[in-house]
Amino acid sequence: MAFEQRIPRDTSANLFAEAQEYFPGGVNSPVRAFRSVSGPPLFIREGHGSHMTDEDGNRFLDFCCSWGPLIHGHDNPHIREKVIETVVKGTSFGTPNRLGNQLGKLILDNHRYVERIRFVSSGTEAVMSALRLARGVKGRNKIVKFDGCYHGHVDNLLVKAGSGLATLGTSSSAGVTESVARDTLVLPLGDRDLLERTLTEHAGEIACIIVEPIPANNGLLIQDKSWLECLRIKAWKHDVLLIFDEVISGFRVGFEGAAGLYNVQPDIITFGKVIGGGFPVGAYAASKEIMDYIAPVGPVYQAGTLSANPVAMAAGLAALELCLEPGFYEGLAERTAAMADRITGYAKEKGYPLHVPHVGSIFWLAFGNERIERADQIDPANMTYFKTIHHELLQTGVYLGPSGYEVGFVSSAHTDLDIQEAVAKICAAMDVAFSEG
Residue type for 340, please? A
Task: Judge residue 82's burial from the number of C-beta atoms within 10 Å of its C-beta, 0-12 exposed, 13-18 middle, 19 or more buried.
Answer: buried
Cβ(102)–Cβ(314) below 8 Å = no
The strand pairing partners of 48, in sequence order, are 51
Residue 32's region, left for phi above 0, alpha for psi from -120 to 50, else beta, is: alpha
SS3 342: helix
Catalytic option among 142, 145, 273, 387? 273
Taking alpha carbons only, the member of 251, 250, 252, 232 closest to residue 242 is 232
Our answer to whether residue 273 is catalytic in this structure is yes
Our answer to whether residue 150 is catalytic in this structure is yes
Catalytic option among 113, 150, 352, 405? 150
Our answer to whether residue 385 is catalytic in this structure is no
CA distance 106 to 91: 21
Task: Judge residue 429's burial from the number of C-beta atoms within 10 Å of its C-beta, 0-12 exposed, 13-18 middle, 19 or more buried.
Answer: buried
Taking alpha carbons only, the member of 291, 289, 235, 300 closest to residue 265 is 235
Catalytic option among 245, 346, 352, 425? 245
Question: For 375, phi and psi rounded to 5 degrees?
Answer: -60, -35
Residue 220's region, left for phi above 0, alpha for psi from -120 to 50, else beta, is: beta
Taking alpha carbons only, the member of 374, 363, 354, 344 closest to residue 223 is 374
Question: For 390, phi and psi rounded to 5 degrees?
Answer: -60, -45
Cβ(404)–Cβ(320) below 8 Å = no
Strands (DSSP E) contained in 281-405 are: 282-286, 354-355, 358-359, 362-363, 366-367, 398-399
Taking alpha carbons only, the member of 430, 435, 338, 348 closest to residue 390 is 430
Is the CA virtual torsion 32, 37, 41, 46 positive or negative? negative
Strand 142-147 with 184-188, pairing: parallel
**Active-site residue numbers?**
150, 245, 273
